[in-house]
């Protein structure tokens, strides 16, 4: 029996539908903030990937610990996965898993595009697709990144020229 269905304090239990709505809405707000705040890198660097994704990961951990031991099925075959996901609480955990990973990937796309000087408006379509279709959005970002940087090396740093192109020109000082 999942802890969502009982309450020792006599208060209304937090049911799976409520958890779904809370997590879904929190992730949607995270995506909106990520897409609409290109001038505030703190959101893509810390608040969303660590704060919000971390909070959703705690909910996911709770669901896995409390519900997976009662679920029938396995990850060793398609039929086993289908049987595992017949349990609504396992489906909820799976959905939160998607929410966390897709949002984290979106934050990485924003940080990576900044590091490589890719204009933010070019990244927005891949962010929307990452939000809606996960891996397809990531694939679109990889195509954009390849077109703009000529590299898919994820370990590579921004080239000095790209960094220089995005820094303000130093003011010339008058020498006497």
Structural contact between residues 89 and 4, judged by C-beta atoms closer than 8 angstroms: yes
Task: Over range 139-152, report the average pLDDT.
Answer: 90
pLDDT given for residue 7 in this prediction: 53
Q: Is pLDDT of 123 > 90?
A: yes
Q: Which of 27, 51, 31 is nearest to 100 (CA)?
A: 27
Express each pLDDT in 65-75 by its tens digit. 988 888 888 88
Instruction: Read off the pLDDT of each residue in 30-36 and give the average, rounded to a whole number.
Output: 90
Residue 7 burial class via C-beta count within 10 angstroms: exposed 0-12, middle 13-18, buried 19 and up: exposed
Please state the pTM of the whole predicted model.
Answer: 0.77
Q: Where are the domains of the chain?
A: 13-165
**Residue 10 pLDDT class (50, 70, 90 cuts):** low
């Amino acid at each position: 029996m999942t802890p969502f269905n009982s309450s020792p304090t006599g208060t209304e239990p937090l049911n799976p539908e409520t958890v779904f709505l809370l997590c879904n809405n929190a992730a949607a707000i995270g995506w909106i903030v990520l897409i609409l705040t290109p001038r505030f890198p703190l959101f893509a660097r810390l608040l969303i990937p660590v704060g919000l994704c971390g909070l959703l990961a705690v909910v996911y951990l709770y669901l896995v610990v409390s519900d997976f031991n009662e679920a029938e099925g396995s990850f060793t075959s398609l039929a086993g996965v289908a049987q595992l996901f017949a349990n609504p609480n396992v489906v909820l955990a799976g959905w939160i898993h998607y929410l966390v990973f897709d949002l984290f990937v979106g934050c990485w796309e924003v940080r990576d595009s900044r590091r490589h000087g890719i204009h933010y408006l070019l990244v927005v379509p891949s962010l929307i697709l990452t939000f809606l279709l996960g891996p397809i959005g990531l694939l679109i970002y990889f195509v954009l990144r390849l077109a703009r940087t000529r590299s898919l090396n994820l370990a590579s740093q921004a080239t000095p020229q790209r960094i220089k192109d995005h820094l303000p020109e130093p003011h010339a000082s008058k020498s006497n």
